[in-house]
Amino acid sequence: MEIGRRPEFINTRKHSEMRKNNKRQQKDKEGQAELFPVSPEVHGTDGIGSVHGRKAELVSRLKSQRTLTGQLMEEIADYRNLTEAYEQVKRNDGSAGVDGMGVEALQSWLVSHIETLRSSLLNGTWEVTAVKKVEIPKPNGGVRLLGIPTVKDRLVQQAIHQVLERHYDPHFSRSSYGFRPGRSAHDALRQSAQYVKEGREWVVDIDLEKFFDKINHDRLMQRLSKGIGDKRVLRLINAYLKAGLMSEGIVEQRTSGTPQGGPLSPLLSNIVLDELDRELEARGHKFCRYADDCNIYVKSEAAGERVLASVTRFIEEKLKLKVNREKSGARHCGKVKFLGYTLLPGGDLRVADKSVERLKEKIREKTKRTRGVKFAIVIKELNQIVTGWSNYFRMSNKWLSTFREIDSWMRRKVRCYRLKQCGRKYTVYKTLRELGLSEKKSWNVALYSQGWWAMSNKQATCEAMNLQWFARNGLRSIYTELTRLKC
Cα 422 to chain centroid, rounded: 43
Total Cβ atoms within 10 A of residue 306: 15
Instruction: Grade residue 342 by pLDDT with cuts at 50, 70 and 90.
Output: very high
* Span of 49-53, 310-314, 349-353 with lowest mean pLDDT: 49-53
The set of residues, in sequence order, having a beta carbon less than 8 Å from that of 357 and lying 6+ positions away, is none
* Span of 12-16, 101-105, 208-212, 305-309 with lowest mean pLDDT: 12-16
First to last CA, the chain: 88
Q: What is the pLDDT of residue 53?
A: 61
Beta bridge partners of 206: 294
Q: Which has the higher per-residue pLDDT, 15 or 212?
A: 212
How much helix, strand and coil, in percent to the nearest 5, is found in the chain? Answer: 60, 10, 30
Handedness of CA 95, 100, 105, 111 (dihedral sign): negative
Kindly state the average pLDDT of the residues 218-225: 89
| SS3 assignment, position 78 | coil
Q: Whole-angstrom Cα distance, residue 343 to residue 332?
A: 9
Backbone angles phi, psi at 378, to 5 degrees: -60, -45
- For residue range 361-412, list pLDDT tens digits in order: 999 999 998 888 999 999 999 999 999 999 999 999 888 888 899 999 999 9
Q: Whole-angstrom Cα distance, residue 435 to residue 284?
A: 65
Nearest to 417, CA basis, from 465, 361, 467, 463: 465
Instruction: Give the distance between the most distant pair of CA atoms in the chain.
Output: 126
Question: What percent of the chain stands above pLDDT 90?
Answer: 61
Q: What is the pLDDT of residue 147?
A: 82
Nearest to 98, CA basis, from 135, 137, 128: 128
Assess whether pLDDT exceeds 90 at residue 58: no
pTM of the full predicted structure? 0.80
Q: Strand 245-247 and strand 293-298: pairing?
A: unpaired
Q: What is the pLDDT of residue 485?
A: 77
Give CA torsion, residues 380, 485, 190, 354, to 10 deg: 40
Cα Rg, the chain, nearest whole Å:
29
* Span of 42-51, 174-183, 434-443 with lowest mean pLDDT: 42-51
Q: What is the pLDDT of residue 242?
A: 86
Per the CB < 8 A criterion, the answer to whether 331 and 202 are in contact is yes
Q: What is the pLDDT of residue 19?
A: 58
Assess whether pLDDT exceeds 90 at residue 484: no
Q: What is the pLDDT of residue 235?
A: 94
| SS3 assignment, position 344 | strand
Q: What is the pLDDT of residue 7?
A: 38
Q: Whole-angstrom Cα distance, residue 374 to residue 384?
A: 16
Q: What is the pLDDT of residue 35?
A: 45
If you ran DSSP here, which 8-state letter would residue 128 be given? P
The set of residues, in sequence order, having a beta carbon less than 8 Å from that of 53 and lying 6+ positions away, is 44, 46, 47
Kindly state the average pLDDT of the residues 126-140: 81
* Span of 76-80, 145-149, 230-234 with lowest mean pLDDT: 145-149
Q: Whole-angstrom Cα distance, residue 277 to residue 180?
A: 15
Q: Which has the higher per-residue pLDDT, 357 or 40?
A: 357
Per the CB < 8 A criterion, the answer to whether 475 and 414 are in contact is yes
- For residue range 435-483, list pLDDT tens digits in order: 999 999 999 999 988 899 999 999 999 999 999 999 999 999 999 988 8
Beta bridge partners of 330: 204
Assess whether pLDDT exceeds 90 at residue 144: no
Q: What is the pLDDT of residue 379?
A: 96
Q: What is the pLDDT of residue 370?
A: 86
| SS3 assignment, position 148 | strand
Total Cβ atoms within 10 A of residue 34: 12
The set of residues, in sequence order, having a beta carbon less than 8 Å from that of 415 and lying 6+ positions away, is 456, 457, 461, 462, 465
Q: What is the pLDDT of residue 43?
A: 41
Nearest to 288, CA basis, from 219, 216, 196: 196
Cα 400 to chain centroid, rounded: 27
Kindly state the average pLDDT of the residues 328-345: 94
Assess whether pLDDT exceeds 80 at residue 130: yes
Instruction: Grade residue 8 by pLDDT with cuts at 50, 70 and 90.
Output: very low
Nearest to 214, CA basis, from 145, 154, 277, 278: 145
Instruction: Grade residue 250 by pLDDT with cuts at 50, 70 and 90.
Output: low
Question: Around 44, how many Cα atoms within 13 Å sit in the side-chain half-sphere?
Answer: 18
